[in-house]
A and B are shown apart, each in its own frame.
Chain A
Amino acid sequence: MHRVNTDIEQFRTCQLNSLEKRLLNEFQHGFPLIPRPFQKIAEELDVTEQVVIETLENLQSQGFVSRVGAVFRANSIGASTLAAMALPEQQLEEVAAMICEYSEVNHNYQRNHDFNLWFVLTARDEQALNAVLDDIEQRSGFPVMYLPMEEDFHIDLGFDLSWT
């Protein structure tokens, strides 16, 4: 395996200034729940509130920031499950495309295993979720293995970007 050196994203992350790096790395959790949160962050970073807001807008428009806000615990709202199918190679693409059509499917990946198609389904309740699973089985002619989350061990403090 070789690394591609002319990588646009790698290059772009090298261009981030220290304010951008601190905004990306230090405020992933414990965001201020006070009337002027960006003012509080501005004080910590010794810049103005307007600069914080503009910098976050830029990071968002460049695709480095998805949003500023909440990460919800799985299954705390609505019902969701991970699901997998073991498909013959020649039918994988067709079934994958069919599964992507459902608005309830938010991730869908081919992976290197006998169970070669993995997707995540999210719906308003369990009944709606089961209806989609039944529909997928019926339309594809293959069984779906479904693996709902039973316990979450992850302590989510964000992701240390460890700039070097």
Chain B
Amino acid sequence: MDMKVSFRHPRLPEQLALDDQDQALIMLLQTGLSLSMSPYAELGRRLGMDEEEVISRIENLVDRNIIKRFGVVVRHHELGYRANAMVVWDIPDDRISDLGPCMGQFDFVTLCYRRPRCLPAWPYNLFTMIHGRDRDDVLDNVELLAARCGLDDLQYDVLFSIRRFKQRGAIYRKVEKSD
């Protein structure tokens, strides 16, 4: 592989328009709701909005699919699902709109994204994160996925993590410090 080639891809998905109050709400929501009787009213106090507006803004973010899911966020690793692999697939462009949603519906698939290929070094255009109790369980799930969605003729690769150097939640916007 010629490492002098830059693999830089120029395009990023366009960002969605959010007003200042949505942005402030999102910033506070990153750390989760307070575990108290009236968590939305509490968010409202910090944002200078009433409870009703906080709730309707969250509903709106859910409707627009900016919030994919609202609820209890568990830690897989701590709950015994200790293995995961990034499984990458080379899906013909004309099949991806059928196969992507098929693969994305399984609960052991926690990410299912189309990304650009970088030929010739990188032929894969669909990225899935597949979880299991251990590596064998992950590989069983890969086989199950291939069988259910009809992927047997496609090239794929399983990338297990060897070492974790860093893992934390994304910080989209800096959380204001109180000090």
Q: Does A18 contact B (CB under 8 A)?
A: no
B172 touches A153 (CB 8 A): no
Chain B residues within an 8 Å CB radius of A147: 9, 115-116, 118, 122, 127
Q: Which of A35, A65, A110, A122 contacts B165 (CB 8 A)?
A: A110
Contact present for B171 and A72 (CB under 8 Å): no
Q: Which residues of A contact B90 (CB under 8 A)?
A: none
Contacts of A111 in B (CB 8 A): 86, 159-162
**Complex contact A72–B66 (CB within 8 A):** yes
> Which A-chain residue is minimally distant from B32 (CB atoms)?
A67
Contact A103 B171 (CB under 8 A): yes
Asked if A68 and B73 make an inter-chain contact with CB atoms under 8 angstroms apart, the answer reads yes
Contact check, B72 vs A31: say whether CB atoms are below 8 A apart: yes
The reply to whether B70 and A77 contact each other, CB–CB distance below 8 Å, is: no
B41 and A35 contact, CB distance less than 8 A: yes
A contact residues around B69 at 8 Å (CB): 28-29, 70-71, 156-158
Cβ proximity bits A70-82 to B, threshold 8 Å, 1 near / 0 not: 1111111111111
Contact in complex: A53, B61 (CB < 8 Å): no
Which of B72, B77, B118 lies in contact with A28, CB distance below 8 A? Answer: B72
User: Which applies to chain A's interface (DSSP): helix, strand, loop or mixed?
Assistant: mixed
Partner of B166, one of A62, A86, A100: A100
Whether, in the assembled complex, A131 has its beta carbon less than 8 Å from a beta carbon of chain B, the answer is no
Cα-based distance from A77 to B5 in the complex (angstroms): 30
CB distance from B75 to the nearest CB of A (A): 5
Q: Is the CB of A28 within 8 A of B74?
A: yes
With an 8 A cutoff between CB atoms, is A10 at the interface?
yes
Which of B18, B37, B62, B79 contacts A38 (CB under 8 A)? B37
Which residues from chain A contact B171 at a C-beta distance below 8 Å? 103, 106, 122
In the bound complex, how far is the Cα of B108 from the Cα of A58, in angstroms?
26
Task: Enumerate B108-165 residues with CB–CB distance to A below 8 Å.
Answer: 108-116, 118, 121-122, 126-127, 131, 134-136, 157, 159-165
A70 to B33, CA, bound (A): 9
Which B-chain residue is minimally distant from A30 (CB atoms)? B71
Tell me if A46 counts as interface (CB < 8 A to partner B). no
Cβ of A29: which chain B residues have Cβ within 8 Å of it? 69-71
Q: Is B178 an interface residue (CB 8 A)?
A: no
Contact B8 A144 (CB under 8 A): yes
A-B contact pairs, 17 of them (CB 8 A): A13-B79, A56-B35, A69-B32, A77-B18, A100-B166, A109-B161, A111-B86, A111-B159, A111-B162, A112-B160, A113-B159, A114-B1, A137-B6, A150-B113, A150-B116, A152-B104, A153-B126
A53-B35, A70-B58 given; 11 more Cβ-contact pairs under 8 Å: A13-B80, A66-B73, A69-B70, A110-B161, A113-B159, A122-B171, A126-B12, A148-B12, A149-B114, A153-B126, A159-B107
Residues of A within 8 A of B (CB): 1, 3, 9-10, 12-13, 23-24, 27-31, 33-39, 49, 53, 56-57, 60, 62-82, 84, 86, 96-97, 99-100, 103, 105-115, 118-120, 122, 124-126, 129, 133, 137, 142-161
